[in-house]
Amino acid sequence: MKHLTDTDLLHHMYGLTSESAAVTGHLSECPDCLERWASLAESRQELLRTQSEVPPDFLADQRQRIHARMEQQRPKPLLVRWSPAIAVASMAIAVLLWKVPLQKNAGQPVEIATTADAQLMTDIYKTVYDTEPDVVEPLRGLFDSKGTGGSQQ
Ligand SMILES: [Zn+2]
């Protein structure tokens, strides 16, 4: 058997070779390969000693940076994204509820503006759940056969 390569030695070290007996046999009779084997084993032991000494502060800092990066990439929840629109809608509701009784005489029953409420709820629902940007809506007319610009009938 010719001399063992570094790959042979590494595969033997990590149990990745099917010729373990042949490698062991060669190491027992070849001082050159045995010396390289001993050097590799020494290097591995040195690496194992030094790699275990990662400071806990470093790991904690690394974990925080990973979480920060994940937060940057994650899309914001729908509620957070639309919270300004919801705040405006809430103010509109408040103004509506405040104004409606003032418009009526005190002695008469208060008529509730159901149409405005329904429209408001529709607008809020559309704002919160509609994922299509408003600018897309005009473009839909281009593909609507009932549209005014439709040339094909
Ligand atoms: Zn050898």
pLDDT in tens, 53-93: 778 888 888 888 888 888 777 666 677 777 788 888 888 88
Rounded to the nearest angstrom, the distance between the alpha carbon of 63 and the centre of ligand 1 is 46
Rounded to the nearest angstrom, the distance between the alpha carbon of 12 and the centre of ligand 1 is 14
Q: Which range has the top average pLDDT, 29-38, 66-75, 94-103, 133-142?
A: 29-38
Q: How far apart are CA 33 and CA 9, in angstroms?
A: 9
Rounded to the nearest angstrom, the distance between the alpha carbon of 27 and the centre of ligand 1 is 7
Burial 85-118 (b: 16+ CB within 10 A, else e): eeeebeeeeeeeeeeeeeeeeeeeeeeeeeeeee
Transcribe 66-111 into DSSP letters.
HHHHHHHHSPPPHHHHTHHHHHHHHHHHHHHHHHHHHHS-SSSPPP
**What predicted TM-score, i.e. pTM, was given to this entire model?**
0.35
Predicted local confidence at residue 4, as pLDDT: 94
Rounded to the nearest angstrom, the distance between the alpha carbon of 47 and the centre of ligand 1 is 25
Rounded to the nearest angstrom, the distance between the alpha carbon of 119 and the centre of ligand 1 is 87
Mean pLDDT of 112-135: 70
Q: Report the candidate in 18, 21, 23, 17 with the shortest Cα–Cα distance to residue 2.
A: 23
Rounded to the nearest angstrom, the distance between the alpha carbon of 92 and the centre of ligand 1 is 87
Q: How far apart are CA 24 and CA 34, in angstroms?
A: 9
pLDDT tens digit sequence for 11-53: 999 999 888 899 999 999 999 999 999 999 999 998 888 766 7
